[in-house]
Amino acid sequence: MRKKVSTLLDYQECKQQHLLNYLNTLEEKDQEKLLEKLESINIRNLQNVYSHYKEKPKENRELNPIQNVLRVASTPKETLQQYQKLGEKLISEGKVCVAMMAGGQGTRLGFNKAKGMYDIGLPSHKTLFQIFCERILSLQNMIQIRIGQCLPIQFFIMTSDVNHEETTQFFIENNYFNLQSDQITFFQQDSLPILSTNGDILLNDCTSILEGPDGNGGIFSSLYNQGYLDYMKCLGIKYIHICPVDNVLCKLCDPIWIGYVEANNLTICSKFVKKAHAEEKVGIHALINDKPCVIEYSEMTQEDLHKRNDQGDLLYDAGGIAQMICTVEFTHKIIEDPQTSSKLAANYHVAQKKYDYYDLNQRKVIKPDIQNALKFELFFFDCFPLCPKEQFGLIEVKREEEFAPVKNAPGDKSDTPETAKKLYLDRDQKWIKNCGFQFPQQVEISAKITYFGEGLENILPKYLGNKQNPLIITNDRLSAQKQPQLVKQPQVKQQPLQQPQQQQQQQQQQQQQQQQQQQQQQQQQQQQQQSQQQQQQQQQQQQQQQQQQQQQQQQQQQQQQQQQQQQQQQQQQQQQQQQQQQQQQQQQQQQQQQQQQQQQQQQQQQQQQQQQQQQQQQQQQQQQQQQQQQQQQQQQQQQQQQQQQQQQQQQQQQQQQQQQQQQQQQQQQQQQQQQQQQQQQQQQQQQQQQQQQQQQQQQQQQQQQQQQQQQQQQQQQQQQQQQQQQQQQQQSKQPIKQQQKIGISNQQFYPQVIYNQLINSVNLSVLQPNYYPYQSTPQNPKNILIQDNHVRQSQAFNPRLSIQHQTASQQQLKQVKATAFPTQGISTVTNPKQINPQTRYQPIMQSQNLLNTKQSIIQPVQINSSLSPQRVTSYFNQRALTVQRPTMFAQQRPFTLSAQQYVPITTIKN
């Protein structure tokens, strides 16, 4: 469930909301089917590819040739032998594998099956797959003989959805062409969704996505996503030879190539052949902005195509043949590392094509008339820019030995099955001549008996005198010899990755078919033995008949010989006459040839002179053009400088004018300000005189008021002294009753003040409700000061009380009324943040003075003591307050209130 939610969120973030809206309209069964497909797509990688396509900037390209190049034809043999020994050692240790790109069909060849199953027309009628498997087998045998052991070379074949089943079945039917079944691994090429021109994913039908192959560069992600890169690491493989299926002369795991890569510590190395001419339409290896790349023929300028070096060769002559070696570590990095994978996504190629698609609104398949979709492809050489140029190398090989592509239909001009067949057979004839032999007929050398022409010296003599045409040289006649046995692949310490279920089923089918094939072979052997006996009898009869015929032929031959002798004598006479005539003709021809040669030499000299003159003229023209361009550039620069100077002068003039205007304005403003200041000074002097007069009057009034207040205060003090004397007399007469205790949370205390909460701002609650009994007196007022998180006691009393509160902003504070029972001294609460820090722990002034100040936020309220306890209880219960019995009610009839927790209230009214 979490995975589904994550998938939907990814599609929403990648702007594929139309799929989510459509998904909600489907039934549950169709929803699950479509959602399963959506989960298998790396939508973030697809969005990254599309974003690079939309935002890809045009950049200036600087083209340079690659310097790290090995040219096999001009390299000393000793160096090549060292490379070959090093490469053979790595192959024998199982550190090299082959990854073949075989996902295409033979449609362009008029063949509706997998391209690797195609027969190019060799006398043996072997398919491309069979030739490659036999070449791997011969390489293993060669290394086994030279070193003594060789692990099986792992062969990874990339198929597609179109040809995967028929390819695997083809290998099963042919018993893997004598390779081990666990030596070959099939994996399918990944695909990418087809997008609309707006970037929306298109559907093929109501529950499936419209997809297309992601190009041969998808081999990296396919190996990674299906776990085969980790499988290679488990087997200890270091290098991967990536090659196409349509080059019949491809040297799989070339030891010289591998040794060169290992000796120079290269990450990537690509093979190339020298271009036949400047206009040959092939991709070229070069450095673009100091990064190794393959640049297409159509992307190069005519000047770059025809550039030559000091030796007169084409400067950019490294034509690609779609073969590379790279490390497993590099392949793993470009997919797993976010930075490199993002750079790889920027190299995708986009093709606008016309695709039928399922319309989500009309709910039917639409066949457009114009190009409506974007197809993204990646080529394997698009990873080259991710490799540092110091770790990238090239190796040049001979075209006639290693490059025979099969791309075009029979009858075309180039790269056809006929041209590939001719190159294959011509290479075999070259091997035969190198061994010192010659066969007049057409000869095909099987890939099973030699990897690259080695070991033929001991095989070819056995076929001398064989007049079969065409002649196929195989190891069938060498079956009596002991073939070298391969060392079995060691068990990997790490547990290898489980292959897909399809491959497990295929292996079971393979075993069954192998058993059936063995039975069929046994039956065929029996039938062959019977047929051989019959053939022997027939041969004996034929031999007798042949002997009779030979006797008759001998008699006829004797007669013919006599006639021939007579004819020979006549012919000899005629030949002598003809020889004399021929000698005369030859002398005449020699004279004519000498004259023609002289004429040709003269013509060649003239042509060379003309060419030199043309070249000189071209160089002069180029120099003149360059000079003209330089002059034009200089003129343009001078014009630009003059324009800039004029603009600067104009700007300076404008600035000077503006400064003059500003100075004039400032002078005017200063004059006005001086006038205003003079007027203001006069007005201020008049106002000061008036204020002085008013202050004198106010001081006189204040003195009169102070005298009146002093008289009133003296009267009040006299009244208070009289009241205190009366109260002392009453208290001495009436004994104080024992104060009643109220229990809250198993603690005893005598509350004096009930605290309530400021509206949504100040929260007051009793944390340690413990009071000692006390009695208030005018000389000992109970003044409580609320602090930040606790209560500090004043010097006048010693209560144990903790109160917690939260103070809001001044704008949120509102005047709230608190309730206090009548005592001889009235307790008040003030805002502690407005009290001087030096005196904040000192007793607060009397409440009578605070009532008239602006600092007081809580006003004391008196309740008539004649009210009954029931009315007081109901009054506070309605406001969600808890009331405890105060000290002054000890003289009234006693009552008890239930203990409740303090809760927020709004306002307590009088």
Give the CA-trace dihedral at 833, 834, 835, 838, to 10 degrees. 70
pLDDT for 808-864, tens place per residue?
Answer: 334 433 333 333 333 333 333 334 334 344 433 333 333 333 333 333 333 333 344
Lowest mean pLDDT among 161-165, 232-236, 783-787, 861-865: 783-787
pLDDT for 12-32, tens place per residue?
Answer: 888 888 988 998 898 989 988
**Per-residue confidence (pLDDT) for residue 692, from 0 to 100:** 83
**Per-residue confidence (pLDDT) for residue 901, from 0 to 100:** 33
Mean pLDDT over the full length of the chain: 76
Contact 327, 279 (CB under 8 A): no
| 269 vs 540, higher pLDDT | 269
pLDDT surpasses 60 at 387: yes
**Per-residue confidence (pLDDT) for residue 339, from 0 to 100:** 86
| 687 vs 284, higher pLDDT | 284
- C-alpha to C-alpha distance for 218 and 544, rounded to whole angstroms: 68
- C-alpha to C-alpha distance for 431 and 138, rounded to whole angstroms: 16
Beta strands 765-766; 211-213: pairing state: unpaired
pLDDT bin (cut points 50, 70, 90) of residue 154 is very high
Residue 471 phi/psi, 5-degree rounding, is: -100, 130
pLDDT surpasses 70 at 780: no
Which residues are within 8 A (CB) of 63 and not within 5 positions of it... i.e. 6 or more apart? 286, 287, 288, 295, 300, 304, 316
Top-level class of domain 41-53+61-478: alpha beta
Contact 744, 900 (CB under 8 A): no
pLDDT surpasses 50 at 741: no
Owner of token pair 């089923």: 505
| 80 vs 687, higher pLDDT | 80
| 85 vs 13, higher pLDDT | 85
* Average pLDDT of span 619-645: 84
**Per-residue confidence (pLDDT) for residue 54, from 0 to 100:** 84
pLDDT surpasses 90 at 881: no
Lowest mean pLDDT among 59-63, 151-155, 525-529, 652-656: 525-529
% of the chain beyond a pLDDT of 90: 37
DSSP states of 116-141:
GG-B---TT--BHHHHHHHHHHHHHH
- C-alpha to C-alpha distance for 597 and 43, rounded to whole angstroms: 72
pLDDT bin (cut points 50, 70, 90) of residue 740 is very low
Most confident of the following: 688-697, 776-785, 790-799: 688-697
Lowest mean pLDDT among 368-372, 457-461, 528-532, 701-705: 528-532
CA–CA distances in Å: residue 492 to residues 135, 181, 236, 322, 485: 26, 17, 9, 32, 21
**Per-residue confidence (pLDDT) for residue 535, from 0 to 100:** 66
Considering the entire predicted model, what is its pTM? Answer: 0.56
Contact 103, 117 (CB under 8 A): no
pLDDT for 274-283, tens place per residue?
Answer: 998 989 889 9
**Per-residue confidence (pLDDT) for residue 90, from 0 to 100:** 98
The token pair that represents 889 in the structure block: 């009610």
**Per-residue confidence (pLDDT) for residue 532, from 0 to 100:** 64
The distance of Cα 543 from the centroid of its chain, to the nearest Å, equals: 77
**Per-residue confidence (pLDDT) for residue 742, from 0 to 100:** 32
Question: Is the peptide bond preceding residue 470 cis, with omega within 30 degrees of 0?
Answer: yes
Which residues are within 8 A (CB) of 579 and not within 5 positions of it... i.e. 6 or more apart? none
Give residue limits of the domains in the chain: 41-53+61-478, 748-910
| 317 vs 582, higher pLDDT | 317
* Average pLDDT of span 83-88: 97
Residue 909 phi/psi, 5-degree rounding, is: -90, 155
pLDDT for 506-564, tens place per residue?
Answer: 666 666 666 676 666 666 666 666 666 666 676 666 667 767 777 777 777 777 777 77
* Average pLDDT of span 564-587: 77
**Per-residue confidence (pLDDT) for residue 659, from 0 to 100:** 85
DSSP states of 338-351:
HHHHHHHHTT-EEE
- Residue 860 has a CB neighbour count (10 Å cut-off) of 20
